[in-house]
């Protein structure tokens, strides 16, 4: 997101770096910053205030993520406060280019369409295999290893994989 523009001091930058390095507990190849769920971290009256958005309102990992960010800030020497931000709602558009590449390298197909696409909303999208790149894939299940992913299989290389749904 626009955190870099919001950094006002060296402490803001250190606090951002500490929080941004926290891995997602469900998909540890990406950080909360890669996913775009860490919106900002700023020092306010001596407290590092981290603003975090869940990937969706029922995300079971949101408390674990908030506690991990709090611990990372505390370990970096800051008194932390976590603020959950629900609006505007998080979207897969906020996943960074680096985050998308990390997902692909980990074996998870990153979301391919913008979140406002009617095609994405109704699952009418081509998902390339993260292993071989083939578009010849088949959705096995609307839900994969977590609710935010669907399970696919590649017809070209026969590898099963998860697709991070476009939200």
d(CA 73, CA 80): 6
Domain boundaries, given as residue ranges, for the chain: 3-84, 92-164
39 has a pLDDT exceeding 80: yes
Kindly report the CATH number that applies to the domain delimited by 3-84.
Answer: 3.30.300.130
d(CA 166, CA 163): 9
Across-strand partners of 93? Answer: none
CA torsion, points 143, 144, 149, 155, in degrees to nearest 10? -100
Evaluate whether 80 touches 67 at the Cβ level (below 8 Å).
no
Confidence category of residue 1, pLDDT binned at 50, 70, 90 = very low
Please provide the average confidence, as pLDDT, over all residues in the chain. Answer: 89
Q: Within its chain, how far is the Cα of 38 from the centroid?
A: 9
As given in the structure block, the two tokens for residue 7 are 């950094």
Q: Of the candidates 82, 95, 92, 8, which has an alpha carbon nearest to the alpha carbon of residue 56?
A: 92
Per residue in 96-139, pLDDT (tens digit) is: 999 999 999 999 999 976 655 555 555 557 899 999 999 999 99
Distances (CA, A) of 148 to 6, 58, 108, 141: 29, 10, 12, 12
Evaluate whether 81 touches 50 at the Cβ level (below 8 Å).
yes
Q: What percent of the chain has pLDDT over 90?
A: 72
Distances (CA, A) of 11 to 34, 78, 82, 156: 21, 9, 17, 50
Per residue in 58-104, pLDDT (tens digit) is: 888 999 999 999 999 999 999 999 999 999 999 999 999 999 999 99
Q: What is the pLDDT of residue 2?
A: 41
């Amino acid at each position: 997101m626009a955190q870099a523009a919001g950094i006002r001091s060296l402490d803001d930058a250190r606090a951002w770096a500490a929080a941004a390095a926290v891995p997602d507990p469900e998909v540890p190849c990406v950080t909360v910053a890669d996913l775009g769920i860490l919106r900002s971290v700023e020092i306010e009256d001596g407290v590092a205030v981290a603003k975090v958005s869940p990937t969706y309102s029922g995300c079971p990992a949101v408390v674990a993520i908030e506690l991990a960010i709090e611990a990372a800030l505390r370990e970096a020497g800051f008194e932390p406060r976590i603020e959950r931000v629900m609006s505007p709602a998080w979207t897969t558009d906020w996943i960074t280019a680096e985050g998308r590449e990390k997902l692909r390298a980990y074996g998870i197909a990153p979301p391919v369409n913008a979140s406002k696409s009617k095609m994405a909303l109704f699952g009418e999208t081509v998902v390339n295999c993260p292993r071989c790149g083939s578009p010849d894939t088949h959705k096995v299940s609307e839900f994969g290893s977590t609710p935010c992913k669907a399970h696919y299989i590649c017809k070209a290389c026969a590898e099963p994989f998860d697709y991070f749904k476009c939200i």
